[in-house]
Structure 1
Amino acid sequence: MSFTIAIGSTNPAKTSAVRAVCERAFPGCTVAAVNVPSGVPEQPIGPAQTSTGAQNRARAALAAVPGARMGMGLEGGVDPDGSLINCVAVVEAGGRENLTWGVRFPLPPSVVARVLRGEELGPVMDEVTGRNESKKQLGAVGILTNGIFTRAEMWQGPLACALMPFLHPELYPAPVTPPPEA
């Protein structure tokens, strides 16, 4: 299949995940990374902001890349309960949409306290671990698992699941848009 998929991010952890999954799902596709606004705070808090950010990025990416067949938005957030949450939205030029959630795991309490006071997770993790640009590499999940499970790997599962209605449209009535609950 030769078509273009737009991802609403230029973050290498996100774009590498999209390329890895989409090249397997749609051999021959082209992935175009574009920097688009999420329409939510830089650090989304809770499922509603996180899912809205993913959907906004997917729609904006699709609109920003002429001829793209799909737009994808990947948004990480922090739940007020102290968990990292992540959401993937996929939209198709024909109007079909899907939203999925990835792993949910507890962040260190000292990190959560700072994020809930308004700081962004990536810089906080960098500061407490002495790293730079961790959100573009291992991410919080990679740091906290000692590299066993990286941020790019974390995105692959929910992204593959978000593609289910597009891979099997005969099994999923359009549109598919689950509620924004994590």
Structure 2
Amino acid sequence: MIVAVGSQNKAKLKAVQRAFQELEIEAEIVPVDAPSHVSAMPFSDEETIHGAIHRAEFCLENSKADVAIGLEGGVTEATFGLFLCNWGALAEKGKKPLLAGGARILLPEEIAGRLRMGEELGPVMDDYSKRSGISSNEGAIGIFTNGRIERAEMFKHIIKLLIGQREKKHYVKK
């Protein structure tokens, strides 16, 4: 099976590879530079879901993949503050995309405030941690969980949710 992933991000690609390996599903993982067609910093579940769907559908239309996966990270506002949110979409020809969401954590106000002012999470986290490439490695989730859950692990969980739905054929016809 050929699986296109709508990203060049190392953490996202590692997540897909690990999920398929752990589930013992033979797959050739093909990264595709897919646009999300949402803002660089998605600011709601709805926008983040749309980003994941757009990435998956772009992959399906622009590759020879049997299955396409789009992964998108964003933030969502709640009465308790600003939370990380992460969504995935799995697309196959002629079927409505499957959707799954991941872990959420409350962001510290010093990070949330900068995001509300229009900055993107990746550069904010690089600045906060005094390192570069956080979004391709442990991600904000890794920083704020003391490495207990890293970005690839979080996305891997989402991919397993998507694969499980696919196996149970929980599709809605388009």
- TM bin, normalised by shorter chain, reads over 0.9
Report the equivalent of 1:70: 67
Answer yes or no: is the 8 Å Cα contact 2:20–2:26 preserved in 1. Answer: no
2:77 aligns to what SS in structure 1? coil
Confirm or deny: 8 A CA contact 2:122 2:134 kept in the other structure.
yes
Does the CA contact (< 8 Å) of 1:74 and 1:88 recur in 2? yes
1:80: Cα distance to partner?
2.1
Structure 2: how far apart are the matches of 1:96 and 1:137? 31
State the shift of 1:94 in Å. Answer: 3.5
Judge conservation of contact 2:2–2:28 (CA < 8 Å) in 1: yes
Contact 2:95 2:173 (C-alpha < 8 Å) held by counterparts:
no
Question: Are residue 137 (structure 1) and residue 134 (structure 2) matched?
Answer: no
SS of residue matched to 1:149: coil
Match of 2:127 in 1: 127
Deviation at 1:129, TM superposition (A): 1.3
How far apart, in 1, do the equivalents of 2:46 and 2:153 lie?
A: 23
**Aligned residue number for residue 79 of structure 1:** 76
Q: Distance in 2 between matches of 1:117 and 1:57?
A: 26
Q: Is there any run of 5+ residues in structure 1 with no aligned partner, and where? A: 178-182
Q: Residues 66-106 of structure 1, C-alpha deviation per residue, up to 9 Å, x if partnerless?
A: 2x111101100111230000001101124242101101110
2:26 is matched by which residue type in structure 1? G
CA contact (8 A) 2:91 2:98 kept: yes
Q: How far 1:50 moved relative to its partner?
A: 0.4
- In structure 2, C-alpha distance between the alignment counterparts of 1:62 and 1:155, rounded to whole Å: 20
Cα deviation, residue 145, structure 1: 1.6
Secondary structure at the counterpart of residue 52 of structure 1: helix
1:37-67 CA-partner distances (Å, limit 9, x unpaired): 100001100111100000000101111212x
TM-score (norm 2): 0.93
**8 Å contact 1:17–1:153 — kept in the other structure?**
yes
Partner of 2:47: 49
- 8 A Cα contact 1:97 1:176, kept in partner: no
SS in 2 for 1:155: helix
Distance in 2 (alpha carbons) for counterparts of 1:16 and 1:142: 15
Match of 1:17 in 2: 15
TM-score normalised to structure 1 length: 0.89
Stretches of structure 2 that go unaligned for 5 or more consecutive residues are none
User: Over the residues paired in the alignment, what is the CA RMSD in angstroms?
Assistant: 1.5
